[in-house]
Structures are given as C-alpha cells and as structure tokens.
Amino acid sequence: MAVKELAILVVFSLTVCTGHEFFTSTDKISHLFEEEGFLLSAFASYIDAEEDIIKKMKSVLLLLQLRTHTDPSDPSEIKDPVAAFNLLIRLRSDWLSIEKYTLRSLHEYNVYQILLEHAQIPQLEDLMGAASGLISLQELYKLYPNNITKETSLNADNACFVGSVAYSEDKFQHAFLWFLYSLNRLTEYSTTTEEELLQYLSDSAYHFGSLPTAIYFSKWLFDLDPTNDEVKVQLDLYRLLHNKRKSNPDIFTLNTESSNSYEALCRGEIDERTSRRQRALSCRYSTGGGNPRLMYAPVKEEEEWDEPRIIRFHDIISDQEIEILKNISRPLLSRSEVFQDGRGAVSKGRVSQSVFLQDDDPVDALVNQRIADATGLSMETAELLHVQNYGIGGRYEPHNDALNIRNDRIATFLFYMSDVEIGGATVFPEAGVAVQPKKGSAVFWYNLHRNGKVDSNAKHAGCPVLWGNKWVANKWIYEFGQEFKRPCSLSEWE
Ligand SMILES: *[C@@H]1O[C@H](CO)[C@@H](O)[C@H](O)[C@H]1NC(C)=O
Ligand SMILES: *[C@@H]1O[C@H](CO)[C@@H](O)[C@H](O)[C@H]1NC(C)=O
C-alpha cells in the first residue's frame, strides 16, 4: 500500500514539474484543494514507509549485532582459517542486507553513500580467494572438510560455495567432499537445494573418474524427478561409460602421499635433522667476536643446520618491538608480489600481505644495528625491512631469495614475530630441513656460496599457515659492502 502511494507521490510531483499552468484557471485551482489533501496523505504514507523501513533496519541491525557475539576477544589474533572465512562471508552478507535496506530508504542522509566511501566490504573475489586458500590448505595437509571445520562449522550454503570454487579450479575430489558436507547440512533455511548439490556431486564424481559414485548421485537425482530427461540421458551415458572402464578411483578417500619434499616437510613427515647429523650442531652465546654492544647482552645462537648453514638467534627482538612493528605495518599492508619477467606481479604461489618500511623509520635503524651485530655484516646496501602477514592458506612456494644478478642478495635474515600453532614453517626442500616459527627469534642463512654462486640448498618456502597468525619481518642483505666482512673465495665448494 505504502509503495503504491509513493508511486502516486512521484507521479504527482512529476506533473508539477512538467509545468501545468494552474494559475490561469480557477477550476484548476479549486482542484488543488483536493490535490493538497492527497499530497499530505501521500507524504504521511511516505513517512510511515520510512518508519517501517527504519524499524526493519533496526531489527536487522540487532540480528547482525547478535551474530558478532561469538567473535574472538582479540580479533587481530584470529587463528582459525574457517572462522576467518566465515567472517568474510558474514561481512559481505551484512553489507548486502544493509545495502538492501539503505537503498530503499529515500532519506537524505544516504547511508549507502557513506558506507560506500568508508566501509571495507569483502568483494566476491575476496570470498573466492579465501575459499581457494582453504582448499589449498586441505590439499597440502590432506584434510577432509570435517577436519578443517572442527572448531567452526560451515553452513550448507557456505560449504557449497567452497565446493563450487574447488570445482571451478578442477579440484574435483575436494569439490565433491564439500558438496557432500553441504548435503549433510541442508536445512529449510538453506538457499542451496538438494537437486543442485546432487547434480554437483554427480558432476564432480564424473570428472574425478569415479563413475559408480556419479551414477549413484545421478540416480538419486532422477528418483527425485523422473520426468527430468537431462538426468536420464546423463545416467545412461554414465552407465555406458562405466561398463567400458576399469579404473575406479575412490573419491571418498584422500591420497596421503606427498608429491614432493616441500609438501612432506610442511607436513612434518621428513626432516633430516632427526638424523645423527644434528647432534653435531651447536648452541652458544655469542659476543660477535668481542662486539662491545654484545659483551653484556650476548646473542643466543643456535645452529639449525649445516648445509646451508642456518643460524637461529633466540630472543633477538622483544615483544614490544614486535608490537611496534606490527602497528606501523598494519595500515600499510598490501598483497605481496613476486618478481616475474623483470617486474612485480601478484601470484597464487605467494599469498600474503606485506610492506617495506620507510628508511627514515627509527625501527629500521634499530633492526639494522641488531642484524649487523649478530651477523657481522654491513647493512649499508641492505633492503628496507620487509614485514609480512599471511592470510587464509597464506604461503610462499619454494624460491631462492638470490636473483642471480650482480650485487645479489647474499643473505637473508628472517624475524619471527609470532608463534604459529600449526603450519607456517620455513622449509628448505633441497636440504630437507623445516624451521618452526618462534616468536622473538630470527633465522639467518646465506643465499650465495663464497664464490658468488647461488646456493641451491638455500632454496626455501613458507608453508601454509593451518592454524594461527604468521607475522615475519625479513631483511635481504646484499653482496656489496661485505668484501671485508665475508671475504669471497675462488673455491668451487665454498
Ligand atoms: C580427518 O577426518 C578423517 C575422516 O573423517 C579421519 O579419518 C581423520 O582421522 C581426521 N584427521 C585428523 C587429523 O583429524
Ligand atoms: C599498538 O596499537 C595498539 C592499538 O592501536 C595500542 O593499544 C598499543 O599500545 C600499540 N602498541 C605499541 C607498542 O605501540
């Protein structure tokens, strides 16, 4: 009713605007008495409609506020990837409900505009990226949907969304498992339908090569609607194919074999250090060969590995310094890039946000001094401090920091600014070594041999963070300036 009268109000004002000459006719003026009564009642209806919308908006607000009650007390410390994913989904759906109501409101303070300018609303691409991150976690750590949703479950619609992202990435087994998870959680409130899921399940099973499973779900779909000819054709085709084909991979069970040493290391399966070799490694307090700054506060050095030589410095950065570094970096973080064809580019192999701090930042000077003292290297040609935070499934696939250029990155110094509950190790696939993040410590290694050649053993990767929040800061140190600090060698072997 209100809507109809609103429409009349609009028509009315349009008539006025098109300029009927009321003043030249008394008859028309007398009509205006009626029109005025109508105008005022239309205006009253409009106000009612606005109030109605306001009431609805208030109840929507209340509902949205209720949903935030389950949030962690410290939102910056969100550790559960599924909870993070749910938050993204929720924020976007909050935004869509707010948008729906504010767009309808003709109020002069257009909330929509204000939100549009100030709010940071996850876009569909963000949700797809987060779902993709969850899937890559599952692939690497061999996790089923019920493993990854132990703490936070996904509703049928969100699970179906993750499944469809896996499907679009041709990851049919994970897609299948998510659709199955979704099917088991369908309720009367789900917008996803049983038919939709059955079709998806059948398609995923077919693409995975598991025809009996594809037939099973097609049959189920057909039983729901025996008049559906398309499903009939599909079912016949699958039966025909099944009779011809022998192989029948099990779509319900994930393959637990790691395809390479990077994955195996990230999963904690192999680590050379369990061998005898590690016992030869040492741990000591160093004063940097008599460095006066270290005489009273020697650095705690631990040799993590010998080839490449990886040194861990314990308690080298304080919690307060870490807090300051995070605080400076937070507003400046942006998607990390990799070096490709001579320039930076966003890559799926590197999922994190990062920032290079300014060189006039006092923290940079402090950190430089700390690294110079610990390593004995010159920081004059080092890059600015690079702070990184990893998101859902955040990782950095195997790479070498040295770029094989003149004045290369001779060494890397990596601060761990958080502990990571599960995942997030720094692994060296060639050497077979995994180094676990430990807040306040740092690791250091050379990327180049003494003869200037790139050390292939220094190739490393950041494993995906399965549970937790990974913050690191690293400093890339260059060759120039180290001539007297780390004399080069002509030997092939150094
Ligand atoms: C993951 O789920 C599977 C299947 O439900 C179960 O067999 C397995 O033990 C779980 N793994 C972990 C690490 O919880
Ligand atoms: C970091 O920022 C938080 C929140 O703005 C503030 O409470 C805290 O005192 C800051 N910490 C440091 C060490 O600057």
What does the pLDDT look like over 366-418, one tens digit per residue? 888 889 888 888 888 888 889 988 877 777 888 888 877 777 888 999 999 99
Residue of 326, 327, 332 with the most ligand 2 atoms within 8 Å of its CB, for mutation: 327
88 near 121, Cβ under 8 Å?
Answer: no
191 near 157, Cβ under 8 Å?
Answer: yes
Average pLDDT, the chain: 80
346 or 430: which carries more pLDDT confidence?
A: 430
Ramachandran quadrant class, 19 (left: phi over 0; alpha: psi -120 to 50; beta: rest): left
Pocket flag, ligand 2, residue 76 (CB < 6 Å): no
pTM value?
A: 0.75
Ligand 2 atom, smallest distance to 327 CA: 1
223 near 239, Cβ under 8 Å?
Answer: no
Strand partners, 395: 351
293 near 308, Cβ under 8 Å?
Answer: no
**pLDDT, position 363:** 81
Ligand closest to 252 (CA) is: 1
Q: CA 45 → CA 1, 4, 48, 129, distances in Å? A: 9, 10, 5, 45
Residue of 144, 146, 150, 180 with the most ligand 1 atoms within 8 Å of its CB, for mutation: 144
User: Which residues does ligand 1 sit against, CB inside 6 Å?
Assistant: 144, 146-147
pLDDT average, residue stretch 47-59 = 81
Residue 177, judged by CB atoms within 10 A of its CB (0-12, 13-18, 19+), counts as buried
439 near 405, Cβ under 8 Å?
Answer: no
Query: What is the pLDDT confidence band of residue 494, given thresholds at 50, 70 and 90?
Result: very low
Query: What is the pLDDT confidence band of residue 184, given thresholds at 50, 70 and 90?
Result: very high
Q: CA 29 → CA 21, 37, 125, 242, 335, distances in Å? A: 10, 13, 58, 83, 66
Residue 253, judged by CB atoms within 10 A of its CB (0-12, 13-18, 19+), counts as exposed
Q: Angle 319-322-325 (CA atoms, 0-180°, nearest 5)?
A: 155
**pLDDT, position 358:** 79
**pLDDT, position 105:** 59
**pLDDT, position 429:** 92
pLDDT average, residue stretch 324-333 = 85
Joined together, the tokens standing for residue 140 give 């690497």
Q: Phi first, then psi: give them for residue 176, nearest 5 degrees.
A: -55, -50
Pocket flag, ligand 2, residue 324 (CB < 6 Å): yes
CA 317 to chain centre: 27
**pLDDT, position 76:** 61
pLDDT average, residue stretch 149-161 = 93
Joined together, the tokens standing for residue 381 give 């040609």
**pLDDT, position 426:** 95
Amino acid identity at 92: R
Ligand closest to 256 (CA) is: 1
User: What distance in angstroms lies between residue 325's CA and the mean position of ligand 2's atoms?
Assistant: 10
Cis omega (within 30 of 0) for bond into 308: yes
d(CA 220, CA 477): 62
**pLDDT, position 1:** 38
All domains in the chain, ordered by first residue? 2-118 (no CATH), 124-244 (1.25.40.10), 280-478 (2.60.120.620)
5 or 200: which carries more pLDDT confidence?
A: 200
Amino acid identity at 95: W
Query: What is the pLDDT confidence band of residue 202, given thresholds at 50, 70 and 90?
Result: very high
Quick check: 361 pLDDT over 90? no
Residue whose CA is at the smallest distance from ligand 1 atom 12: 147
**pLDDT, position 257:** 83
Query: Nearest Cα to 478, choosing from 334, 394, 397, 378?
Result: 378
